[in-house]
Structure formats: structure tokens, C-alpha cells
């Protein structure tokens, strides 16, 4: 009826209004947080399955709002892009990450990975700035890896390709993140100069379920990647049985809550120093 329609419209409108207002507040607070550099990096270790050693880590952005709540990074990264603040945010995260890791005096073959979104990668100044930040921290270029998602590849493939191959020729490692979930076609893999494939956690999470199709997918990704000369990292490893299956399938590195959640630099430093090698 007309009355019902009117009623539900009011409710709908009210929620829309609320949502809009919340987002505006969130956006404004984010811009301030970026300016004040309060967004930090947490670190999650990567375990080498053949040696049982921690051989690297991924830097993950963390933003704690003034109300104490953490905002998911996918969300605030997207807002930062929309607000044209992603380069500013990324610069601040790169420099914090490189400085923190450099201060930990880790072995020279320890690799630190950072996430780089398409918008940042396609910026004309990205390459020279990024290399400069690494140099300033005292780390070497071959201690850094860039994780890009497959969706990144569809924006301007030729430009992404040449940027990546130039970075790689200088020693920086390149990983394709969330492999298997994006829009990129398999033949991109043969056209790109990369080092690592990261199997998305959605496949890893299903590994120890009864159905065997995920195991076939993961096994196929590993075999194909190895044939192409790439290392394979499985992300989102939460159980011993997932880890054992991945070891059987000759996956190179694993990352996930089973080994450690992402933690702040203070905890990461003590964790990595006290880690009991398997």
C-alpha cells in the first residue's frame, strides 16, 4: 500500500543518510590520520617449508580510529584512493616499514614485502621514489618485494609490465598477490618478469576439507609456478593439516595465523628473535 511504501521509504532514506554521514566522518578522519601519520604497519612472518625458518614478512597497514576501533585496510585504502591520498599514505607506510625492518638487523637474505596498489604503481614518480626510500632506510633493493594484485594488471598492462621489469632488473622482487581470484588471464604470467606467486587464502582455507578440487587447484598452481621458475607462497594458513598438505605439494613458503597473526614492530622483533625453528 501507499502508506507502507511511504514508511519503508522513510526508513531507507534514514539509513542512507546515516551511512552517508558516517562515511563523510570516516573520510575526514582518514585524511587527518594520513596527515598525522598515525597509520602504522604490522608485520606477518613467512615460513620456509623446506628449512623451517622465517625468511620474510609482509607489511600490512593498520589504522586505529580515535574511537579505538580498527578499520579494515581494504576499506581505508579504497577511500584513500578515492580521496587522492593513496600516494601520501603509501609513502608514509613504505618509509615506516623500511625503517622498522632495517632497525631489526635481520639476516641479509630476509625479504620484506609491501603491498602496492595499481594507482600507486602507475604513478610516474613511483619507481624513483620507492628506490630512494629503500636506500634511505639502509636496506638493499634485493631485500624488498612488491606484492601486486592481478586486478592491478588490467589497468595499463604495458606500463605495469615495464615498471615491474625495470624494478626487477634492479633487484626488487615482484609477487602476484591473491593468485586465482583476479581477472588476469594465465598468459599474463608468461609475459611478466616476476619472482613469486601468492596463492589466495580462499583456496588454502578449503585445503583440508573433504572435497579434493581445491587440492587439485593448489597443486596445479604450484606445479605451473615452479615450471615457470616462480616461488610459491600460500597465504591464510590456519591449521597444521593445511601446512602438511602444502609441504607435501612442495609449496615454498607459508604465511598465516598458524605461524603468527600480523603484529606490531615491537612484537615482531621479539617474535622473530625467539622463534623456535622447526
Which residue number, 57 or 189, has a Cβ lying nearer to ligand C2E?
Answer: 57
Convert residues 182-221 into a mask of x (bound to ligand C2E by CB under 6 A) and - (unbound): -------------------x--------------------
Which residue number, 18 or 155, has a Cβ lying nearer to ligand C2E?
Answer: 155
Helix or strand or coil: residue 246?
A: helix
- Determine which residue in the list 77, 121, 184, 222 makes contact with ligand C2E, applying CB under 6 A: 77
Please report whether residue 262 would count as binding ligand C2E according to CB under 6 A: yes
Whether 62 and 70 have beta carbons less than 8 Å apart is answered as yes
Give residues 159-218 in contact with Ca ion (rule: CB under 5 A). 177-178
Please report whether residue 274 would count as binding ligand C2E according to CB under 6 A: no
Measured distance CA(125)–CA(24) in Å, rounded: 30
Which residue number, 49 or 61, has a Cβ lying nearer to ligand C2E?
Answer: 61
Q: What angle do CA 246, 201, 194 make, to 5 degrees?
A: 80
Whether 245 and 209 have beta carbons less than 8 Å apart is answered as no
Please report whether residue 252 would count as binding Ca ion according to CB under 5 A: no
Measured distance CA(117)–CA(30) in Å, rounded: 18
- Determine which residue in the list 117, 137, 143, 196 makes contact with ligand C2E, applying CB under 6 A: 117
Please report whether residue 145 would count as binding Ca ion according to CB under 5 A: no
Q: Residues 255, 258, 264, 268: is their CA dihedral positive or negative?
A: negative
Please report whether residue 36 would count as binding ligand C2E according to CB under 6 A: no
Q: What angle do CA 144, 129, 122 make, to 5 degrees?
A: 90
Contact region for ligand C2E (CB under 6 A) — 66-74, 125-133, 220-228, 267-275?
A: 66-74
Q: How far is the CB of 208 from ligand C2E (least distance, A)?
A: 13
CA distances from 11 to 3, 19, 21, 24 (A): 13, 12, 15, 20
Please report whether residue 150 would count as binding Ca ion according to CB under 5 A: no
Helix or strand or coil: residue 59?
A: strand
Among Ca ion, ligand C2E, none, the one that 189 touches (CB under a kind-dependent 5 to 8 A) is: none
**Cell for 26?**
570516516
The overall longest dimension of the chain from CA atoms, in Å, is: 71
Convert residues 31-50 into a mask of x (bound to Ca ion by CB under 5 A) and - (unbound): --------------------
Measured distance CA(217)–CA(179) in Å, rounded: 11
Q: How far is the CB of 152 from Ca ion (least distance, A)?
A: 11
- Determine which residue in the list 40, 79, 86, 147 makes contact with Ca ion, applying CB under 5 A: 147
Q: How far is the CB of 144 from ligand C2E (least distance, A)?
A: 14
Amino acid at each position: 500500500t501507499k502508506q507502507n511504501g511511504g514508511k519503508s521509504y522513510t526508513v531507507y532514506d534514514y539509513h542512507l543518510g546515516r551511512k552517508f554521514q558516517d562515511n563523510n566522518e570516516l573520510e575526514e578522519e582518514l585524511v587527518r590520520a594520513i596527515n598525522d601519520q598515525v597509520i602504522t604497519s604490522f608485520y606477518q612472518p613467512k615460513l620456509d617449508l623446506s628449512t623451517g625458518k622465517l625468511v620474510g614478512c609482509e607489511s600490512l597497514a593498520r589504522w586505529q580510529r580515535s574511537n579505538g576501533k580498527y578499520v579494515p585496510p581494504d576499506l581505508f585504502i579504497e577511500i584513500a584512493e578515492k580521496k587522492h591520498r593513496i600516494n601520501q599514505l603509501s609513502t608514509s607506510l613504505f618509509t615506516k616499514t623500511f625503517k622498522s625492518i632495517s632497525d631489526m638487523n635481520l639476516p641479509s637474505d630476509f625479504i620484506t614485502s609491501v603491498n602496492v596498489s595499481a594507482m600507486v604503481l602507475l604513478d610516474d614518480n613511483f619507481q624513483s621514489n620507492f628506490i630512494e626510500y629503500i636506500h634511505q632506510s639502509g636496506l638493499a633493493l634485493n631485500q624488498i618485494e612488491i606484492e601486486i594484485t592481478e586486478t592491478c594488471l588490467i589497468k595499463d598492462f604495458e606500463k605495469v609490465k615495464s615498471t615491474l621489469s625495470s624494478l626487477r632488473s634492479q633487484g626488487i622482487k615482484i609477487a602476484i598477490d591473491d593468485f586465482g581470484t583476479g581477472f588476469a588471464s594465465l598468459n599474463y604470467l608468461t609475459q611478466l618478469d616476476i619472482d613469486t606467486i601468492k596463492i589466495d587464502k580462499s583456496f588454502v582455507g578449503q585445503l583440508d576439507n573433504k572435497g579434493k578440487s581445491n587440492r587439485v587447484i593448489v597443486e596445479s598452481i604450484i606445479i605451473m609456478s615452479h615450471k615457470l621458475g616462480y616461488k610459491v607462497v600460500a597465504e591464510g594458513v590456519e591449521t597444521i593439516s593445511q601446512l602438511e598438505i602444502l609441504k607435501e605439494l612442495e609449496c615454498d613458503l607459508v604465511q598465516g595465523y598458524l605461524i603468527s597473526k600480523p603484529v606490531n614492530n615491537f612484537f615482531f622483533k621479539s617474535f622473530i628473535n625467539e622463534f623456535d625453528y622447526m
